[in-house]
Amino acid sequence: MTTEPSTSAATSTAAALAGDANGTEPWSARVRTLSRLGRHREVLALLRDGDPSPPPHALALPAAVISCTALSLVSGVAQIQALGCKRGLLPSSDAYLLSSLLSSYSRLGLLPRAHQLLDEMPLASTPPTTLRTAFNSLISGCALHALPAACFALFRRMRAASAPFDAVTLMTLLPAAPQSVVPQLHALVGKAGLAAQTNVANCLISAYARRGAGLARQVFDEMPLTSRDIVSWNAVLSAHAQNGLAVDALDLYSRMCGHDGGGVEPDAVTLVSVLSSCAHLGARGVGLGVERYMQERLPGFRANMQLCNSLINFHARCGNLPQAQRLFNEMPRKSIVSWTALITGYGMHGHGDVAVNLFQAMVSEGIRPDNVAMVGLLSACSHAGMYEEGRKYFSAMESTYQLRPTLEHYTCMVDLLGRAGRLKEAQELISSMPMPADGAVWGALLGACKIHKNVEIGEEAFEHVIKLEPSNVGYYVLMANIYTDTGQLEGVVRVRAMMRERGLKKEPGCSYVENKGRVHLFMADDHSHPQAKRIYELVIKLEQMVTERTDGTVETGQGRVDEGYSGKMAAPLIGFHSEKLAVAFGMLNTDDSEIVVIKNLRVCGDCHSFLKAVSAIANRAFLVRDASRFHRFEGGACSCKDYW
């Protein structure tokens, strides 16, 4: 057998293995043992120089194939194939050797040789189990090289040859299957009676999750409780977390930790999905519980970079930047995801200068930014009104970092220019884009027109955005608000008529606050809370105090999505916005701690002014995360400096 140049050491090893004290062990068994231990050179030395008597058993040859593959010795694999043919083990007598050869050629990138070996098999006289093994090996090889069409061509050929498929076949095909084919494979799973197998069900969940959580959840729900393992739970949790169904993901996590989990313990993969959902929702209580679990049950979690990144992202998006920074500082190694999570977090809190300094530190440490990091940086510049810095880094994307701007980067820049009042410049940027602008780009321009009350450009942006996203009700509300702010009531009537014709209803504003382990949800003008009477009494009292403090005049600021409030403080019984109710609840049920509120829409100008005033009157701090960023109200001021 041709291998690398022999050495006296290799020959001595072979001789020792052939005649040492363990000589009672069958020669072929020693070959397999060495292969399992990863001592591949010794395997080949023994096969070449060991001079076994009798000749090597067939079970030794597959082990030798594995060793040749590990050493990338194509000629060695070919010689073992020739030896197998000479001894009558190929092309179809020995399924184990055949499978090893097919897998080896596939892993070495020699798919034509693998196909040739399969073609040489006499299909009619080959045992069905050997056929199945051969086809499975080659299908796996094609999947390894991301050749889905080849996988399914082989599967059709396998079916035509009446070769039986099994769970291994389907578990290889499902990850490679186009979405339209997954239901067909699911039907085959059921027909073959393989649906009860946990591994197959797990593959189905993951395959369906690529296009949504509905069917993935259906497969999961149909699994017997006793069949669900950690992979099952992780697959369905991930399906919901990645498709924006954070509430359902946390509900599943609660079930997993309860009776339905059957004793399955969350692992790092589970907790990454859960923390992602907590960050999305602002579910501080659940996320802090996850952190405690990690500290108590996963003492080595700091070595898991993905888990640490998720925890940093959770704290940053739930308002605890100091803790996010501490975790970042304590990480033994940092990836670009670590840096991006912190940069984005500081940007959401309006600390654009810190975000820029972090970005520069990242680059100085030799980490090259990617598109996601640049989105975080440009967004941070936009939230902080850092026009010059945003322009500089956007220009540097291609010239310095060899990154081609995507629609997300253009959206950030249109937002940056628009907030700064450079609406014409934002229009010109959209016109110069190398790709058509999407709804987010035009929506950013429309939002800027709302800030600066520009009807003309707003109408142009509105015309484009409703063609691209005709059912996004937020854009209709923005345009109606622009007309309202400029006193053009006919325009308001037109937009509302369009909404009625298209069956669109404005998304209701809602805010929630956590207290003593419970989440309390408030809607605009909602009276369903058990403490509603006291909450409304406090809001009315605070409204009166604010009116007295401001002599009846209120800055509306840069108004955002209206929840139905008239904007006039003279009518305090009309339009109790959800964040006002949430803050009042927090004030009634806590002493002097910071009150954290999560809101689904952007804070409107009236509520922004109200919360600034109340923070001074009550000497309390409020942290409000709206749909875009954080606002920290304290001492009569907001961290956004009235720029949001």
Domain that holds residue 627: 510-547+574-638
Last residue of a domain, one of 506, 535, 559: 506
Residue after which a domain boundary falls, among 132, 147, 163 = 163
Q: Judge if 65 and 125 occupy the same domain.
A: yes
**Res 508: pLDDT:** 82
Asked whether residue 190 is domain-assigned, the answer is no
Name which of 472, 447, 462 is nearest 492 in CA terms: 462
Together in a domain, 136 and 65:
yes
Of the listed ranges 52-61, 474-483, 536-545, the one predicted with least confidence: 52-61
pLDDT value at 569 more than 70: no
**pLDDT tens, residue by residue, 288-328:** 999 999 999 988 888 899 999 999 999 999 989 999 999 99
Position 355 scores a pLDDT of: 97
Q: Within a domain: residue 626? A: yes
Task: Check whether residue 42 and residue 136 sit in a common domain.
Answer: yes
pLDDT of residue 45: 77
Same domain, 394 and 414: no
Pair 493, 518 in one domain? no
Whether 197 is in a domain gets the answer no
CB atoms within 10 A of CB 29: 14
DSSP assignment letter at 50: S
Per-residue 3-state assignment (H helix, E strand, C coil) for 386-442: CHHHHHHHHHHHHHCCCCCCCHHHHHHHHHHHHHCCCHHHHHHHHHHCCCCCCHHHH
Residues 461 and 580 in one domain: no
Residue 415 maps to which CATH number?
Answer: 1.25.40.10
The pLDDT value recorded for residue 91 is 67
pLDDT > 90 in the chain, percent? 54
Average pLDDT of 193-207? Answer: 91
Say if residue 424 is in the same domain as residue 396. Answer: no
Mean predicted confidence (pLDDT) in 33-56: 71
At 236, give phi and psi (nearest 5°).
-75, -35
Whole-number pLDDT of residue 627: 84
Q: Which amino acid is at 151?
A: C
The pLDDT of residue 6 is 43
Q: Is residue 84 part of a domain?
A: yes
Inside any domain, residue 488: yes
* Helix, strand, coil abundance in the chain, percent, nearest 5: 65, 5, 35
Q: Is there a single domain that holds both residue 369 and residue 483? A: no
Strands in 518-523's sheet, in edge-to-edge order, are: 518-523, 510-515, 595-599, 622-625, 630-634, 637-638
3-state secondary structure 64-130: HHHHHHHCCCHHHHHHHHHHHHHCCCCCCCCHHHHHHHHHHHHHCCCHHHHHHHHHCCCCCCCCHHH
Condensed to tens digits (0 to 9), the pLDDT of residues 98-136 reads 778 888 888 888 888 888 878 887 877 778 888 888 888
35 shares its domain with 158 = yes
Domain count, the chain: 4
* pLDDT of amino acid 376: 96
Query: Does residue 439 sit in the same domain as residue 491?
Result: yes
pLDDT for position 514: 87
Specify whether 39 is located in the same domain as 152. Answer: yes
The answer to pTM > 0.75 is yes
- 213-217, 489-493, 551-555: which has the minimum mean pLDDT? 551-555
Report if residue 568 sits inside a domain.
Answer: no
Is residue 341 in a domain? no
What is the number of residues in the chain?
644
pLDDT band at 557 (very low <50, low <70, confident <90, very high): very low
Q: Could you say which DSSP state residue 446 is in?
A: H
Cα–Cα distances in angstroms (integers) from residue 271 to residues 63, 233, 259, 267, 291, in the given order: 39, 11, 18, 6, 9
Show which of 450, 478, 506 is a domain's final residue.
506
Together in a domain, 153 and 65: yes
List own/partner pairs for 303-306 with CB under 8 A and 24 or more apart: 303/332, 304/268, 305/331, 305/333, 305/334, 305/335, 305/337, 305/338, 306/268, 306/272, 306/337
Is there a domain that residue 465 lies in?
yes
